[in-house]
Amino acid sequence: MMLHYLQPAKLQSKKIVFEDVFSARDPATLEHLKELSSRRRVIEESINQSSFITEAIAREMSGGLTSHCLRLGMTLYLYAALLRERAIEILPADLVQSATLFREASGVFQHLANEVFPSLQSAQSVERPLEATPSMCTVMSIICLAEAQAVTIRKAEEKGTTVGLLAKLHYGITELLGEATAIVYSNTKEYKDISSSFLEFISSCKALHELRSRKYLAESVKIGEQVGVAVGVLRDALINGKRELPGEESWRSIFGKEIDAAADMLRKFENENEFVWHEKIPSGDELPRLQGNKIANALPYHPKRWERELNFKI
């Protein structure tokens, strides 16, 4: 099972009035800013579940934007978030399509981070919504890649992929989320209003996949008849895993089941080592290092014709 966080657009819930944030040099720009505020208000109401916006409506709203500020990408951000939520919804029924949607969402967030929001970096503003920053979109793009890789791992597990490769794939997710964490904590000013539950989601997912990686690594070295090493890996995994138990109940339940499975495996390996192998139990630097393999990549987002024309005019 995976941990889920379904509300990336709630990273900052403060009301944003763009005509108060950005200076308008002419009446037309002022009207465009007011239009952006109106559209963001609709999105906020949808997020707060006081109204409802479908993926198709979000795409249509995005297609109707007419100014550079309106391209702050707020609707495109919502579209990416909806793609990600759809990927989570269909996950139990269609692993392949779920992974594809995660990769599509990653591509949209990547486009926002690399092409849309950097052009607004020089704009003077008192306050900017967190989702309108390149770094936040990069974080979301990385998270979607991690989720796509997690889905790919589930498919690989069904096919009976070797435990050595599964260990590397899980640790690849840990490395991806480590990159996201580094971005968050290197931009403390931008992230001062970030949701604590979102931060816990990242850290809990990172720890969960590291635990799974260590479990598979233990199985791998056990197959190589290094039972003592397998015992040491599992002991280390449980020590680290128990430190990272999340507070959110559904995440804690998933994490707890993983810890229980690792503890059962450890007891089995300890008994086997005690009665058969009598190997020394290594610890610390004596243990094998985890290695990651990152295989998920973003599906590039291709701007619509109106977007390309708008960029040309600007």
Number of Cβ within a 10 Å radius of residue 128: 19
Question: Same domain, yes or no, for 25 and 119?
Answer: no
Question: Same domain, yes or no, for 129 and 154?
Answer: yes
Supply 184's token pair.
């968050």
Question: Same domain, yes or no, for 137 and 218?
Answer: yes
Question: Same domain, yes or no, for 208 and 289?
Answer: yes
What CATH code is carried by the domain that includes residue 192?
1.25.40.280
Question: Same domain, yes or no, for 38 and 57?
Answer: no
Residue 142 burial (C-beta neighbours within 10 Å; 0-12, 13-18, 19+): buried
pTM for this prediction: 0.81
Question: Same domain, yes or no, for 33 and 102?
Answer: no
For the chain, the straight-line distance linking the first and the last C-alpha, in angstroms and rounded, comes to 46
Q: Per residue of the chain (314 residues), give pLDDT as tens.
A: 678 876 654 444 445 565 565 566 677 767 766 766 676 666 556 555 544 445 444 444 444 443 444 357 777 888 899 899 999 999 999 999 999 999 999 999 999 999 888 876 555 454 567 888 899 999 999 999 999 999 999 999 999 999 999 999 999 999 999 999 999 999 877 788 788 899 999 999 999 999 999 999 999 999 999 999 999 999 999 999 999 999 999 999 999 999 999 999 999 999 999 999 999 999 999 999 999 999 999 999 988 654 554 454 44
- Split into its structural domains, the chain has a count of 2
Measured CA to CA in angstroms, residue 223 lies from 209, 259, 272, 280, 287 at distances of 21, 21, 13, 17, 16
Specify if 6 maps to a domain. no
Element (H, E) at 183: helix 163-186
Question: Same domain, yes or no, for 209 and 296?
Answer: yes
pLDDT of residue 286: 97
CA 192 from centre of chain:
19
Selection from 97, 173, 176, 193 nearest residue 138 by Cα: 176
Question: Same domain, yes or no, for 132 and 169?
Answer: yes
Specify if 40 maps to a domain. yes
Domain range for 44: 15-52
